[in-house]
Structure 1
Amino acid sequence: MAAYELPPSRSPNLALLHPTQEEKVETWKLNGTSWRDGGITFWILVDSTLPPNERPILASCESFRKRALVARAGKLEDALSHGIGSVFCDPDFRGRGYAQRMIEELGKKLDTWNQEDGKKTIFTVLYSDIGKKFYSKFGWEAFHSSHIALAPTSSENKTRLSGARPLRAADLEELCSLDEQFLRADIVRNVPRKKTRVALVPDLQTMQWHHAREEFAGREMLGREPDIKGAHVGCEDTSQVWCIWTRTFGSTEAGNTLHILRFSIQGEENIAHDDPEAGIDLTDLKSTDQAKVHGAAAVLHTAQVEAARWGMKEVQVWNPTPLIVLAARQIEPSTELTHRGDESIASLRWHGEPEDRKRVEWVGNEKYAWC
């Protein structure tokens, strides 16, 4: 590439475009490879006066098409949302405002991106690893971002925590379909007046994307693919408890985490209150609900065993409900919530009227929504 004088970030010549195939490969080299079967859009900030494949990539990112639900005024609407990931600026170009310009332009593009019949995007999400302030300037405001962590264990407890069966890839389609039914009923139930509830759908495609990532990393780093994808328990009252997980492989063992993508407890909405830190006393629950807690503890314990088998540092559950926290404390009584302030901050932009943003509740704000 010939010598090129970098333009100011406010230059009218800068434009957010789609890369050519060669430029796309360059963004992969700069920021690693991401996967999604369809529904992924690559974006690059470039000087639009320069020809493709000869223009420096000043900043890049990806957007992922996501199925979503929106509940308001007692009505449920299927919607199309987007998640944003792999935001990157070449170190040689940093400090010039290019990332800021790209995010500004991206917000405008996503207002109508991939929408049909002139519809407008209702909301989009991203996960900030640079705190809560930067993205909030462009409308992606920080939502609740907490987690609990459990240590791996190499021995199975065959008594108190027995009964969970492992889930494999073939088991997930039926459970994801059932989960979506539960979510549709839950999100529209008793929506407060003037409030809007939104959720990304924890469908099979979403789980498969996460699992494709872990399988690729397992093959490349360890020479084997993870086969167990979660754990399931059937309760005495015929309700079900299950979780689906994925493994994140870091460059060192300290970076390895088994993340619970989605935790489903059938009938939980009739038990738990909204504040996981307030706590629930197991003795205050009726026997069928205590069984749900024990079932949740059993699947968490199975996750701990699987984490040990794969050399994970810990098991994490994002934004756990009070019932999940109670279940974790049956295993580790000292379990406490960690509130994240710098990394993996769940952030949501409401693309409608700004005043409506304060009325939005994010349901299912769990790891599966991450991108």
Structure 2
Amino acid sequence: MTAASSLAHDDIHLIRAYSPDIIQQTWSNNRVEWGPSLDEETYFARERMLASQEFTRDNKLQVWVLVPKTFDSANPQLDQILSAVETFERPGIVASKDQGLKDVLSISIASVFAPAHYRGRGYASLMMKLLWKEISNMKGVSFSFLYSDVGPTFYGRLGWTPKRSEEIVIPTAHNIQGSGSAAMTVEMVTDFNLSELIAADAKQVRTQLKAQIETASSSKVFVVVTPEPTCVLWFHARARFAAQNIFKLEQHQITEWGAKHGKSFVLWSHDLYKDQLFIIRWHLDPSDGDETARALVESAQTEARKWNLSKVVIWNPDQSLADLLRLEIKYRDSSIPSLGHVNSTFETDNVEWVHNEKYSWC
């Protein structure tokens, strides 16, 4: 097959990629999109490192390729990879008045990519349709999700409904008005207390869901990606690799991953590529007030300044936080969270994605 030729969709299928050569070829293809400034060796090293984390090991990360049915995985023609996609297994919870809380498996979808010379032939759409079938056959899976950088329509017509996509951008120089926050002591989140914090967070998420379904209509469904420490560690492995191997900031060490006060906390990760500290998980306990919120935001600003980052970004915040900070919540047209319901009869409009925050992204 040459790049100029096209295949009938009946002559194409989606297969799981196990061969390191095939997987590395998918990286070689998508580097033009997600690592154009990196040399191939550095890009491959980053992808191998991310694939070796506890979050991704033991088949939790799977690579899929769309190829001709004549494709020989044992002796592959690597230029026959028409498109590729990654899936990540994540714990989740589905909650409704009728069924209560149900622990499920969710599938996060990432790195959807087709080489430029294979675009415009419907291959990516076909791949996602075939992937939906694969996900539907996975035991215990109830929902899947992805983050669209091509707008809401493409994935929306394939089953992944766009959800709330907003953010607050907090300049590191922004003065948070109010009294008392500067004197409030926060505890930093590190290796030593991360697992305990995430365990408590997962417990409070369940408590929140129980309260929500008690007052919700019988048709209302809530879904959440269960917080887990391995996800946070994956984010920080990614940031550390960038700091040490791409930006050559050997003198800096990422040792603090957030801040907490009482039952409230913020978790962050450093996005050196986009000059931002992004908040991956935010929780303000009802027993805490505005001063706690201010102190947590100020701790994030302080961390951003340590790394010469110009802003702190938080996805899908409450309006009360925006009011407190005197900043606008704005629509985000990239990384649009999109949710698909597998093996269910849920009405899309009745499904709420709880804690639709950055920690679910990968």
TM-score, normalising length from structure 1?
A: 0.82
Q: Distance in 1 between matches of 2:313 and 2:174?
A: 17
Say yes or no: does 1:81 pair with 2:81: no
Written as runs of structure 1 = structure 2, the 5 A alignment for 1:167-316 is: 167-191=189-213, 192=216, 193-220=218-245, 221-224=247-250, 225-234=253-262, 240-250=263-273, 255-267=274-286, 291-316=288-313
- Using the TM superposition, give the Cα deviation of residue 30 of structure 1 relative to its aligned residue in structure 2, in angstroms: 2.2
Deviates more, 1:213-222 or 1:317-326: 317-326
Unaligned runs of 5+ in 1: 235-239, 268-288
Unaligned runs of 5+ in 2: 32-46
Deviates more, 1:217-226 or 1:88-97: 217-226
Alpha-carbon deviations, 1:168-187, whole Å to 9, x = none?
Answer: 12221000000000001101
Name the amino acid aligned to 2:188.
P
Name the amino acid aligned to 1:67.
P
- Using the TM superposition, give the Cα deviation of residue 355 of structure 1 relative to its aligned residue in structure 2, in angstroms: 5.4
Corresponding residue of 2:88: 64
User: Does the 8 Å contact 1:69/1:201 carry over to 2?
Assistant: yes
Corresponding residue of 1:359: 350
The structure 2 residue matched to 1:51, chosen from 72, 97, 115, is 72
User: Does the 8 Å contact 2:181/2:294 carry over to 1?
Assistant: no
- Using the TM superposition, give the Cα deviation of residue 310 of structure 1 relative to its aligned residue in structure 2, in angstroms: 0.9
- Using the TM superposition, give the Cα deviation of residue 256 of structure 1 relative to its aligned residue in structure 2, in angstroms: 1.7
- Using the TM superposition, give the Cα deviation of residue 3 of structure 1 relative to its aligned residue in structure 2, in angstroms: 5.0
Q: Distance in 2 between matches of 1:133 and 1:25?
A: 30
- Using the TM superposition, give the Cα deviation of residue 257 of structure 1 relative to its aligned residue in structure 2, in angstroms: 1.5
Name the amino acid aligned to 1:59.
S
Q: Distance in 1 between matches of 2:299 and 2:190?
A: 13
Name the amino acid aligned to 1:324.
L
- Using the TM superposition, give the Cα deviation of residue 325 of structure 1 relative to its aligned residue in structure 2, in angstroms: 2.5
- Aligned-residue identity in percent: 28
Q: Distance in 2 between matches of 1:71 and 1:355?
A: 12
Name the amino acid aligned to 2:160.
W
The structure 1 residue matched to 2:148, chosen from 128, 141, 145, is 128
The structure 1 residue matched to 2:315, chosen from 293, 305, 318, is 318
User: Does the 8 Å contact 2:162/2:339 carry over to 1?
Assistant: yes
Name the amino acid aligned to 1:66.
R
Change in 2 beyond 3 A, CA 1:4/1:126: closer
Change in 2 beyond 3 A, CA 1:194/1:154: closer
Secondary structure, aligned partner of 1:320? coil
Corresponding residue of 1:37: 56
Equivalent pairs counted in the alignment come to: 327
Q: Distance in 2 between matches of 1:325 and 1:164?
A: 21
Corresponding residue of 2:163: 143
Alpha-carbon deviations, 1:120-175, whole Å to 9, x = none?
Answer: x2110000001100000100010011111111149999964332232212221000
TM-score, normalising length from structure 2?
A: 0.84
Secondary structure, aligned partner of 2:164? coil
Deviates more, 1:302-311 or 1:153-162: 153-162
Alpha-carbon deviations, 1:237-287, whole Å to 9, x = none?
Answer: xxx21101011121xxxx2211111111223xxxxxxxxxxxxxxxxxxxx
Corresponding residue of 1:101: 126
- Using the TM superposition, give the Cα deviation of residue 194 of structure 1 relative to its aligned residue in structure 2, in angstroms: 1.3
Change in 2 beyond 3 A, CA 1:347/1:169: same
Corresponding residue of 1:16: 14
